[in-house]
Amino acid sequence: MTMAHPIASESPAPADRTEAQKRAALRRHTARQVIVELVLPIAAYYALRAAGVNPWAALIAPALITLPFLAYDARRHRRVDAVALFTLTMIVVGTAVSLVTGDPRTLLVRDSWLFGAVGLWILATLFTRRPMMRSLARTIVTVKIGEAGYREWDARWDNDSRFRHHLRVMTAVWGAGFTLDAVIRITLAYSLPLDAVPLATTLQWLVVLAFLISFHIFYVTRNGLKV
């Protein structure tokens, strides 16, 4: 008598997952990103400041914490995630600029300039065959239904004009959101006390992100893009 492997019965292939399993996989993926890219850096900054570390070093050190996690994810999935690449770019460019100027506030606004640049880049992709949302969807769709499911989902681009329109609308909203966030970050970085800026900019980003995600979920559900 042949017995089924217990792991196979407990871990269905991505394409065979139930809706609850798809949502759980996406929640785990999102939770990891929030912890590694938001919670750990902000907690490390204030812990270092409480220990008497100067602002410049306290801003640099937490950013470096995320690097091993980004490298691990890239190795595990054998490809570089777009969000991870964006985070790594912010760390490298921001650190390089701050080393040149030696000004902690320059390091604080590194995210602002990069968020602004990314926002403009997102808007620019509207004029290509691969608007940002089409590229970014690969990670989300693959997490939920696997590579084969993603290829089937993405194939709609070539023969469904409404599908193309919806992806461009979502791309435009995300691009505008990132650009607006950059303006708010710069304003806060130069108007608040130094130690108040990391927490304030993190909270305002969470507000912007909550709006973008809420719009995204509403729009995806309403227009039949949900997988």
Cα 106 to chain centroid, rounded = 22
* Confidence (pLDDT) at 81: 60
Cα distances (angstroms) measured from residue 64 to each of 20, 59, 89: 35, 9, 12
Other C-beta atoms closer than 10 Å to the C-beta of 214 total 10
Region of 4 please: left (phi>0), alpha (psi -120 to 50) or beta: beta
Backbone phi and psi for residue 18, each to the nearest 5 degrees, phi listed first: -80, 170
pTM: 0.63
Query: What are the pLDDT digits (tens) for 104-143?
Result: 677 777 777 778 888 999 999 999 888 988 888 877 788 7
Q: Is the pLDDT at 38 greater than 90, yes or no?
A: no
Find the mean pLDDT for residues 176-185.
92
